[in-house]
Structure 1
Amino acid sequence: MFSLVSTVTIDDFVPIIASLGIVIFLWRFVIPHGLRGLRVAFEREENVYEIHILTKNTADARELLQDTRVRFGIQSYLWSLTGIAILLMEFLISYTQGIYELNQWVLFVAITLISIPALISILSSLDAQLKFKLRNRRADLELKGISKRIIKMALLSVIWVGLTLMFRIIMREYFITDNSNRLNSSTIFFAFLPAIIAYGRVLGSSWNLLVKNKLLHARGKPTEINPETPSKKGRILSTIVFITAITMPITALNTLLSLLATFLIPEQFVHSESVFRFGDIAKQDTIMEEGGLLGFYAIELFSKIEIDMIRKPLVSAVLLFLILNIAVVGIAFVFEVARTMFLAVTHISGRAGIKLADNKLIRTERAQQADILSFCFSGFAGQSMFLLALAMMTFWDSTFLPQNEACGYLESNVCSIATKNMLEELTWMMASAGQVIFLLVWLISIGKIKKLNAMNFDAVDLSKRSELETLKRKIRVQDVNVIDLIRKERITKAFQKYDEMIENKEEQTITAKLRSEITLSMIAGHWDLTETLSDKLLALEGGEDDFARLALIAANLATRDYKEAKHHLNAVPEQSQERLILNWIGSLLSPNEIKFNMENIHHIQVSSAIKGNLDLLKWYKNKTPEPNIIGPKTNTPVSRKILLRDIALLRIENRSEDALDMLEMWMEENFQDDLWPSGLVAKSLLEIDCGLQFSAQETLEKVYMHEPRHPMVKAALELFMDSGLTTKEWSFEQNESVDWPSIKNNIDSKEWNEKWINTYTVQPILSNNIDISGVAQSMLANIWVANRSMREANIDFPKRNMKNIHKKKLIPTRNERPLGNHLLLTGLVGTVSGIPLDFGFTNTLNPQNPSIKNYLEE
């Protein structure tokens, strides 16, 4: 038995100095090396996952480890690693020298370094498992202030400490009334439950993937996820990991059966006298303290060996494996856990795993990568280090644990609580719980091996990806793509091109297809879909794609998610004119959240979008639209979008004749030999307003012959048929992803209203039954729809709130609006890839606000 001494000599610094040297070596070389080749998988199409590498080499790994968000987790890991090393060195030095004395101050340093990260692991694991909803907003991943993090962790600490104290009180009052050792061990065990559960969930859900990949690598074969052929060293390491992983369910089953035996039939497991005749095996309270059933029978078997040099190593090896298994696995597998959590496919390979974020965010956002790595080191490994320290102190009948009078003056305080029985019970409780949870998760996950095998993982190597990028650039130059056709408003041809892409499954068409889908969703105003698709494209391009970022900014502005828009604005170069215009629009919509650097205004103030938007603000201030009767001076996609908007505003003012004159004059000057589908739709609607029904029908039929798949053309024809303005019955090729909702589908119903509100964020609801939610949507989408009614009701800007507008029914119903005006009406206009987009006009755009007033006075 070891004893404690309090005097400090120069020799007592040897374990600390040696341990620091070992840990520095691990930090500088082993840990970065272990984090090479981190990969992430995200779904490219059904049953196909694309694999991208995040850390190609140790330099990339070191760069990730230097991130501020990782620092907390890695420091926690290094503290506990240092504590374990000090403890091990102190034990080995004392044991080999035959001194059997431990310095209490060295132990104090070691235990402190182990205990603090262990407590942190409880909070880290608790926090990770309480995230029922994935953080799929980049703004949520921004580095928070240290004060907020401290408050959050403090709150979790208070709650969990309270629950732990409540557990202790209940156990003391009703279950453990006369055994302080068991009460203490049970209380500490309960406190560590979050970390123990996290251990079982992570390893149990990732076991299928781990075993499959390591088996192939052990055989020297590449895997779908890691296409490189493993080296000899890699094969050896993979073999060790594979064997360890294979034994995990066996040791877990041993633990479960041993627990049942301990509680149900403990009297059946009493060692024979032959076991104790050599004096090297001490009698234990339960079989859990000697490795469970396997340990019990191994001791019985090896007791028949008379030779000490053979018997003792065999018994020690078996007990070391069974008792230290879970702790060693938790520490040794920290890099495998990191790889699994970065890969983020445990929902495919298993069940009940822990997933911290959307796969695409792991690919593109350093903040998410840092958070995952921090959890692996602080949450997963922390409690494993603590368990290893317990197992070291209680191994072989607590040989290394000072007890009773050997504690010196600590006998009456520290050693009276941390007794041999308490620590041994705590050790097998924590180890057993981790094994049982792993076994349960493993059992419900093992059936998913078939689904895992059915998945296709595309891990094209970097050189091939570079070749594909070059090929994609050549294709963009040589071929007219969907975006170009949409910019020119050749929608039918764009759909034909898109259909060809869908049929073509080649690698180089995947991102082109995504860009096309994003563009189609933007012009249709389906902003939630835009955000989803842009996230996917951004992940495919490794977070470096300005088109995807701009599309995300546009989607965030249109859905009024200004905090997220701000994040993406910071990720796009400020020199981009499209980015500056979107930034300017965002600063109008949310001046508190999004700031615009006025030094950049000269870069954009001459653009058609800015001029048109300023006109709209001035008209709103004057409460009356006053467009130039000769139309815009230029013929660009943006100026055409603004012209349609001006027509919609004039229609609201009952000035359709002026609008028709303006449109016909402008089209005659700019479209002599060409066709402008949207302009012709607007012309047909104006002709209806002016009583020219036959001309309107002729105009619309003409444009339909050229653009049968144009969403605006189809929607206008459906309106004509519904209103009896045409005698023909037209049948359309449906495309729900971009088409306006059909007015034949329960228009004005509750379902219609809900679908419109959930789909469109910048186009006021089109319905004859507008309730309070419809009023709210319209005010947030485009308040111009009610401009005339508010002016006539003499509602000034400060009073343009939901209560007044709803009470006085100032949002016009469908029948009170000009026919089809929703096809033309827009608000503030910006562009992405040269395509004009509508961002609406919220009622918060008060011309009396200083930020807006400054622009209007210039």
Structure 2
Amino acid sequence: MFSLVSTVSIDDFIPIITSLGIVIFLWRFVIPHGLRGLRVAFQREENVYEIHILTKNTADARELLQDSRVRFGIQSYLWSLTGIAILLMEFLISYTQGIFELNQWVLFVSIMLISIPALISILSSLDAQLKFKLRNRRADLELKGIYQRVIKMVILSIIWIGLTIIFRIIMRDYFITDNSNRLNSSTVFFIFLPAIIAYGRVLGSSWNLLVKNKLLHARGKPTEINPEIPSKRGRVLSTIVLITAITMPITALNTLLSLFATFMIPERFVHSESVFRFGDIAKQDTIMEEGGLLGFYAIELFSKIEIDIIRKPLVSAVLLFLILNIAVVGIAFVFEVARTMFLAVTHISGRAGIKLADNKLIRTERAQQADILSFCFSGFAGQSMFLLALAMMTFWDSTFLPQNEDCGYLESNVCSIATKNMLEELTWMMASAGQVIFLFVWLISIGKFKKLNAMNFDAVDLSKRSELETLKRKIRVQDVNVIDLIRKERMTRAFQKYDDILENKDSQTITAKLRSEITLSMIAGHWDLTETLSDKLLALEGGEDDFARLALIAANLATRDYKEAKHHLNAVPEQSQERLILNWIGSLLSPSEIKFNMENIHHIEVSSAIKGNLDLLKWYEDKTPNPNITGPKTNTPVSRKILLRDIALLRIENRSEDALDMLEMWMEENFQDDLWASGLVAKSLLEIDCGLQFSAQETLEKVYMYEPRHPMVKAAIEIFMDSGLTNKNWNIESNEAVDWPSVNNNNIDSKEWNEKWIETYTVQPILSNNIDISGVAQSMLANIWVANKSMREANIDFTKRNMKNIHKKKLIPTRNERPLGNHLLLTGLVGTVSGIPLDFGFTNTLNPQNPSIKSYFANR
């Protein structure tokens, strides 16, 4: 039995100094080496997952470990590791010297270094498991200040302390009324419950994937996820991990059966007299304190061996494995857990796992990577270190635990609470709970092994990096073709090219397909889809793709998510003209969130987009649009978009004849030998306004011959058919990805139609004859120009243009009150991505009396 001493000598510093040396070595070499080859998977198509590597070498791992968001987690891990090392060194030195004394100050340092990270692991695990919805917005991942982090931890602490007090009161009053040791152990067990549950969930849900990969690596074969052939050292480590993983369900089942035996038939498990005849086995209160059923029968079996040097090591080895198994696994598997958490496919390989981050954001955002790594070291490993310390002190009938008078002056306080029975019960409670939770999650996850085998993981082989770069350049050439066709408004040819890409399933067309789909979703105004696809492309390109970033900025501005737009603006080089224009638009839409450096205005002030947007702002202040009757001076995608907008505004003002004259003169000057599909659609709508129905049909038939798959052409044809302006049967090819909603159905103007429109379109005012308050809100946030004429005629001042007032006076025109098909032409502020003009609407918040807008015009 060990005793505590309070005197300090130079020898007492040996465990601390030695442990620090060991931990520094682990921090400098072992941990970075263990974090090499972290990979992330994200779905490319059904049953196909793209695998990308995040840390190719130890240098990458060290860089990740230096992130300030990781530092807290890794520091708590190193503290507990230092505490364990000090405790182990103190035990070994004392035991080998035969003095059986422990220095209480060394023990205090060790226990504090272990306990603080253990408490942190509770809060970290609690926080991770309370994230019912993943953070998929990059703005939410921005580094929070220490104040916010502390506040969050304090709130979680208060909640959990309150629940613990309630638990203790209930247990004391109704269940454990006369056993203070059990009450104390149960209370501490409840405190650690979040970390214990996290342990079982993580390992249980990732077991299938772990075993599958380690089985192949142990045989010297590459896996789909890790395509490199393992080294001899890697094979040995994989074999050890594999054996440990395979025994985990066995030891967990042993724990579960042992618990049943302990509580239901404890009298059946009493050791025979032969076990105690050697004097090296002490009688335990329950079989849980000696490794459960397997430990019980192992002791019975080995007691038949008369030779001490054979019997004692065998008994010790079995008990060490059974009692320390869960703690050692929790510590040794921290790197495997990190790999699994980064891979983020536990929803495929198992059930009830913990997913901390969106897969695509793990690939592109360091904040996501840091959060995962911090959880692995602080949340997962913290309680395992604490459990290991408990197991070390209570092993072999608590040989290393000072008790009663051996505690010295601590006997009446610390040792009266942390008694032998209390700590032994706490040890098997924590170990058993972790095993049982693991077993439950493992049982509900094992059925997914077949599904896991059906998955195709397409990993990026590092040895083929140069080859992939060559392929990427080829992809760029193919990308330009589709996007360039869309930019030139050759939509039918663009769709044909896109169809060719879809038919070609090889990896060279992956990004080409994504870029095309992103572009199509942007011109269709399906901004949620744009964001999803751009995230995927950004992940494929490792977070380095300006097109994807610009598309995300555009999507965020269009969906009025200005905080997220600000994040992406910071990730794109400021020299980019498209980025500057989007930045400027964002500063108009949300001056408080997005700032624009006016020193950069000279880079963009000559662009068609800026000039057209300034005109729109000026007209809104004057409450009347006043476009140049000769049309724009240039023939670019942006100027054409602005021309269509001006036509829509003139139609709202009942000036269709002026608009038709302007359009015909401009097209005659710029399109003698070419065809502009959108312009001809606008021309046909203007001809209807002017009573030229035959000419309108002729114009529409002409454009349909050349652009049968153009979304605007098809939408105009449906409008003509719905309005009875044509009797011709059109064979329109549907393309739901980019087409406008069909007006030729019985669902139009219904509640479902309204809800679908509001859900889909963020910059195009709702098209309905039944506009309720939600439709008014959507229109005001999308493009208030739709109601400009009605508000002017009602003499509604800018300060009174609020949702309640506009809804009450019914100032948002219904579908039948608007010019026919004007939603195809009307846009607000215009910006570009890859040269393609995009509509960002015109929110009601763009009050020209806003000081920031007034000061801007004053500076002009």
Whole-Å separation in 1 of the counterparts to 2:437 and 2:376: 18
Map 1:555-634; keep pairs closer than 5 Å: 555-634=555-634
Whole-Å separation in 1 of the counterparts to 2:130 and 2:480: 49
Q: Report if the CA contact (8 A) 2:524-2:739 is conserved.
A: yes
Q: Cα distance, 1:727 vs. partner?
A: 1.6
Distance 1:476 1:404, change over 3 A: closer
C-alpha offsets along residues 183-229 of structure 1, whole Å, 9 cap, x if unaligned? 00000000000000000000000000000100100000011100000
| Secondary structure in 2 matching 1:44 | strand
Q: Cα distance, 1:463 vs. partner?
A: 4.2
| Secondary structure in 1 matching 2:831 | strand
Q: Report if the CA contact (8 A) 2:478-2:512 is conserved.
A: no
Distance 1:480 1:536, change over 3 A: closer
Distance 1:183 1:843, change over 3 A: same
Q: Cα distance, 1:466 vs. partner?
A: 3.5
Distance 1:31 1:479, change over 3 A: closer
| Secondary structure in 2 matching 1:830 | strand
Whole-Å separation in 2 of the counterparts to 1:305 and 1:323: 22
| Secondary structure in 1 matching 2:51 | strand
Q: Report if the CA contact (8 A) 1:288-1:428 is conserved.
A: yes
Q: Cα distance, 1:850 vs. partner?
A: 1.5
Distance 1:193 1:475, change over 3 A: closer
Whole-Å separation in 1 of the counterparts to 2:476 and 2:300: 74
Q: Report if the CA contact (8 A) 1:558-1:762 is conserved.
A: yes
Q: Report if the CA contact (8 A) 1:129-1:354 is conserved.
A: yes
| Secondary structure in 1 matching 2:766 | coil
C-alpha offsets along residues 778-797 of structure 1, whole Å, 9 cap, x if unaligned? 00000000000000000011
The answer for unaligned runs of 5 or more in structure 1 is none
Q: Report if the CA contact (8 A) 2:637-2:835 is conserved.
A: yes
Distance 1:545 1:184, change over 3 A: same
Whole-Å separation in 1 of the counterparts to 2:266 and 2:475: 74
Q: Cα distance, 1:587 vs. partner?
A: 0.5
| Secondary structure in 2 matching 1:479 | helix
Whole-Å separation in 2 of the counterparts to 1:657 and 1:464: 62
C-alpha offsets along residues 649-695 of structure 1, whole Å, 9 cap, x if unaligned? 00000000000000000000000000000000000000000111100
Map 1:256-271; keep pairs closer than 5 Å: 256-271=256-271
Whole-Å separation in 1 of the counterparts to 2:468 and 2:693: 54
Q: Report if the CA contact (8 A) 2:475-2:511 is conserved.
A: no
Q: Cα distance, 1:853 vs. partner?
A: 1.1
Whole-Å separation in 2 of the counterparts to 1:718 and 1:288: 75
| Secondary structure in 2 matching 1:814 | coil
Q: Cα distance, 1:63 vs. partner?
A: 0.2
Structure 1 partner of 2:352: 352
Whole-Å separation in 2 of the counterparts to 1:444 and 1:465: 39
Q: Cα distance, 1:480 vs. partner?
A: 5.7
Distance 1:478 1:215, change over 3 A: closer
Q: Report if the CA contact (8 A) 1:4-1:104 is conserved.
A: yes
Whole-Å separation in 2 of the counterparts to 1:480 and 1:555: 21
Q: Report if the CA contact (8 A) 1:559-1:761 is conserved.
A: yes
Q: Report if the CA contact (8 A) 1:225-1:457 is conserved.
A: yes
Q: Cα distance, 1:254 vs. partner?
A: 0.2
Q: Report if the CA contact (8 A) 2:479-2:512 is conserved.
A: no
| Secondary structure in 1 matching 2:114 | helix
Structure 2 partner of 1:416: 416
Structure 1 partner of 2:541: 541
Q: Which runs of 4+ in 1 moved over 4 A?
A: none
Structure 2 partner of 1:104: 104
Whole-Å separation in 2 of the counterparts to 1:214 and 1:370: 26
Q: Report if the CA contact (8 A) 1:468-1:508 is conserved.
A: no
C-alpha offsets along residues 807-835 of structure 1, whole Å, 9 cap, x if unaligned? 00000000000000000000000000000
Q: Cα distance, 1:461 vs. partner?
A: 1.0
| Secondary structure in 2 matching 1:342 | helix
Whole-Å separation in 2 of the counterparts to 1:477 and 1:364: 24
Larger deviation: 597-606 or 332-341?
Answer: 597-606
| Secondary structure in 2 matching 1:52 | strand
Whole-Å separation in 1 of the counterparts to 2:28 and 2:275: 47
Q: Report if the CA contact (8 A) 1:614-1:855 is conserved.
A: no
C-alpha offsets along residues 95-135 of structure 1, whole Å, 9 cap, x if unaligned? 00000000000000000000000000000000000000011
Q: Cα distance, 1:599 vs. partner?
A: 1.1
Distance 1:722 1:44, change over 3 A: same
Whole-Å separation in 2 of the counterparts to 1:481 and 1:693: 37
Whole-Å separation in 1 of the counterparts to 2:104 and 2:43: 55
Q: Report if the CA contact (8 A) 2:479-2:515 is conserved.
A: no
Whole-Å separation in 2 of the counterparts to 1:632 and 1:224: 56
Q: Cα distance, 1:240 vs. partner?
A: 0.3
Q: Cα distance, 1:467 vs. partner?
A: 2.0
Whole-Å separation in 2 of the counterparts to 1:475 and 1:853: 46
Pairwise CA RMSD of aligned residues? Answer: 0.8
Map 1:633-644; keep pairs closer than 5 Å: 633-644=633-644
Percent identity of equivalent pairs? 93
C-alpha offsets along residues 548-589 of structure 1, whole Å, 9 cap, x if unaligned? 000000000000000110111011011100000000000100
Q: Cα distance, 1:465 vs. partner?
A: 4.3
TM (norm. structure 2) is: 0.99
Q: Report if the CA contact (8 A) 2:19-2:86 is conserved.
A: yes
Q: Cα distance, 1:293 vs. partner?
A: 0.1
Structure 2 partner of 1:654: 654
C-alpha offsets along residues 325-354 of structure 1, whole Å, 9 cap, x if unaligned? 000000000000000000000000000000
C-alpha offsets along residues 697-731 of structure 1, whole Å, 9 cap, x if unaligned? 10011000000000100110111111111121212
| Secondary structure in 2 matching 1:724 | coil
Q: Report if the CA contact (8 A) 1:827-1:840 is conserved.
A: yes
Structure 1 partner of 2:461: 461
| Secondary structure in 1 matching 2:157 | helix
Whole-Å separation in 2 of the counterparts to 1:57 and 1:236: 20
Q: Cα distance, 1:154 vs. partner?
A: 0.5
The answer for unaligned runs of 5 or more in structure 2 is none
Q: Cα distance, 1:745 vs. partner?
A: 4.8
Distance 1:478 1:738, change over 3 A: closer
Distance 1:321 1:475, change over 3 A: closer
Whole-Å separation in 2 of the counterparts to 1:731 and 1:268: 82
C-alpha offsets along residues 309-338 of structure 1, whole Å, 9 cap, x if unaligned? 000000000000000000000000000000
Q: Report if the CA contact (8 A) 2:128-2:356 is conserved.
A: yes
Whole-Å separation in 2 of the counterparts to 1:825 and 1:851: 26
Q: Report if the CA contact (8 A) 2:121-2:379 is conserved.
A: yes
Q: Cα distance, 1:477 vs. partner?
A: 3.7
Q: Cα distance, 1:482 vs. partner?
A: 1.0
Structure 1 partner of 2:821: 820
Q: Report if the CA contact (8 A) 2:53-2:460 is conserved.
A: no
Q: Cα distance, 1:854 vs. partner?
A: 2.2
Distance 1:278 1:532, change over 3 A: same
Q: Cα distance, 1:760 vs. partner?
A: 0.2
Q: Cα distance, 1:53 vs. partner?
A: 0.5
| Secondary structure in 2 matching 1:713 | helix
Q: Report if the CA contact (8 A) 2:769-2:816 is conserved.
A: yes
Whole-Å separation in 2 of the counterparts to 1:465 and 1:752: 49
Q: Report if the CA contact (8 A) 1:185-1:425 is conserved.
A: yes
Q: Cα distance, 1:479 vs. partner?
A: 8.0
Q: Cα distance, 1:472 vs. partner?
A: 3.4
Structure 2 partner of 1:385: 385
Whole-Å separation in 2 of the counterparts to 1:487 and 1:253: 63
Distance 1:798 1:262, change over 3 A: same
Q: Cα distance, 1:464 vs. partner?
A: 2.7
Whole-Å separation in 2 of the counterparts to 1:627 and 1:116: 69
Whole-Å separation in 2 of the counterparts to 1:833 and 1:358: 27
Q: Report if the CA contact (8 A) 2:613-2:830 is conserved.
A: yes
Q: Report if the CA contact (8 A) 1:712-1:823 is conserved.
A: yes
C-alpha offsets along residues 243-271 of structure 1, whole Å, 9 cap, x if unaligned? 00000000000000000000000000000
| Secondary structure in 2 matching 1:282 | coil
Distance 1:346 1:373, change over 3 A: same
| Secondary structure in 2 matching 1:815 | coil
| Secondary structure in 2 matching 1:102 | strand
Distance 1:83 1:480, change over 3 A: closer
| Secondary structure in 1 matching 2:805 | helix
C-alpha offsets along residues 36-95 of structure 1, whole Å, 9 cap, x if unaligned? 000001111110111100000000000000000000000000000000000000000000
